[in-house]
Structure 1
């Protein structure tokens, strides 16, 4: 039976990033587990000091400029991810050749590893955006904004709902289709990565600055998995 609640739209797109900080994989459906979409950020590139390669520097992360020009995908949900170079060469994530190719390409020691006790997700297991807010940001920039720039997992088609409609959803539950229920957290803080180029997405110059001026440098919502299941593009979405 469908979840009860206030209808707010549908699932427009789903993205997972099998290797963190690489360009991701669009999928039509995906299992949702306690740690988010299946295979999402299950692997990451590690630097020689034990940091996780990223587009920024924090206690956990180390900047590796250009890593987002690589991509990753999973062809079989029972298999391990594939790392894909900008030239289209494919490497199984667990093959030492993948780490070797990365190290050679970036001129430094890099190693591909699966997640263990240190989580690969930046903030929360899931991150969602609404088309209403994407349109609002496009109005600020003067051009359509590519949703892939923000590396979210779930894009919600919220139709004619107002800009930044999700601002009032923190703390609520979001039901996706007939199975998955999320608990919504606060706004997702943004960083320099949203203006960096990635495979298929050109460099942006002022997105972060505009969000700082108009929306507290936040975009989209953080989310936690309340009930696991399978989510599909086209699923009805309701707020409760």
Structure 2
């Protein structure tokens, strides 16, 4: 078994970027979902669930931790990492509320025009990270702006199995994984508890319940009229809590990951 692909999403619910190698820190992939859009009046987080055209928003992470925003018909905008004196904004993501640095008025103007309503860009430094979903993993596990856990793993064979049932090839980015692994049967990952990639160990803490986001074409931002692949997942992958596809992981070490690294199931 080997690591066959790596994906990072610098902006929560923005476009993903394919990587050949990446540093892994205590919040997952370095630069992954450290930025987020929020509705300005309420502070509530925004995603493609409510704003499908966010799929067309590119936010590339740079080595200084800042972002370069771009979208069709819009000039690129470089947004620096907020400094220690940046104003804090109260935000809500699912059931969590926290105060995090705001990226400033230039990003606000650019994004408000793109989104179509007053929108702020915020960033989470490591010392303001959230704890992971209660009841899974360890009490001190942390996560940035990902839904519940730092990392999502999907098996290549699992995607192929789902594609064959739906009747068309489904792009892996539709499911927004961080780690893609090949060389084992479909859904074998459901039975794993611990794995090692290279020299780094990971805990498999919870299957991922999928939502309407899987029906959005990552290239066009359009939703499938037939509600696929969610409709098929609900037929054969339904469990208590939803239709499951992929596994949420927490890393127990830091270091570097690279496509092609061997994967070992430890438990």
TM range (shorter): 0.7 to 0.9
Of structures 1 and 2, the one with the larger relative CO (CA 8 A, separation 6+) is 1
Q: Does 1:102 align with 2:111?
A: yes
Q: CA deviation at 1:200?
A: 5.7
CA contact (8 A) 2:31 2:65 kept: no
Please say if 1:30 is aligned against 2:28.
Answer: no
Q: Is the 8 A contact 1:19 1:83 kept in 2?
A: no
Q: Which moved more, 1:30-39 or 1:94-103?
A: 94-103
Coordinate RMSD, CA, aligned: 1.7
Q: Is the 8 A contact 2:22 2:258 kept in 1?
A: yes
CA distance in 2, matches of 1:128, 1:226: 15
Alignment-derived partner of residue 187 in structure 2: 164
The answer (yes or no) to whether the contact 1:125–1:223 under 8 Å persists in 2 is: yes
User: How many residue pairs are counted as aligned between the two chains?
Assistant: 220
> What secondary structure is seen at the aligned counterpart in 2 of 1:89?
strand
CA distance in 2, matches of 1:50, 1:173: 36
In 2, are the aligned partners of 1:195 and 1:208 still within 8 Å (CA)? yes
Q: Tell whether 2:187 aligns with 1:144.
A: no
Q: Which residue of structure 2 aligns with residue 59 of structure 1? A: none
CA contact (8 A) 2:52 2:222 kept: no
- The Cα of 1:117 is off from its aligned counterpart by 4.8
TM-score normalised by length of structure 2:
0.77
Instruction: Pick closer, same or farther for the CA change 1:234–1:87 going to 2, 3 Å.
Output: farther
Instruction: Give CA-to-partner distance per residue, 1:10-68, whole Å, 9 cap, x none.
Output: 11110111111101111110011111100000001110201111133xxxxxx233112
Distance across 1 between alignment mates of 2:222 and 2:4: 22
Show the counterpart of 2:73.
87
Shift of 1:176: 0.8
Deviation, structure 1 residue 202: 5.6
With normalisation by structure 1, the TM-score equals 0.85
1:88 offset after TM fit, Å?
5.9
5+ residue gaps, structure 2: 80-102, 131-143
**Distance apart, 1:97 and its partner CA:** 2.5
Gaps of 5+ in 1: 1-8, 57-62
SS in 1 for 2:46: strand
Q: Which residue of 2 aligns with 1:4?
A: none
Q: What is the DSSP-based 3-state SS (H/G/I as helix, E as strand, rest coil) of the residue aligned with 2:147?
A: coil
When residues 113 and 45 of structure 1 are mapped into structure 2, their CA distance, relative to the original with a 3 A threshold, is same
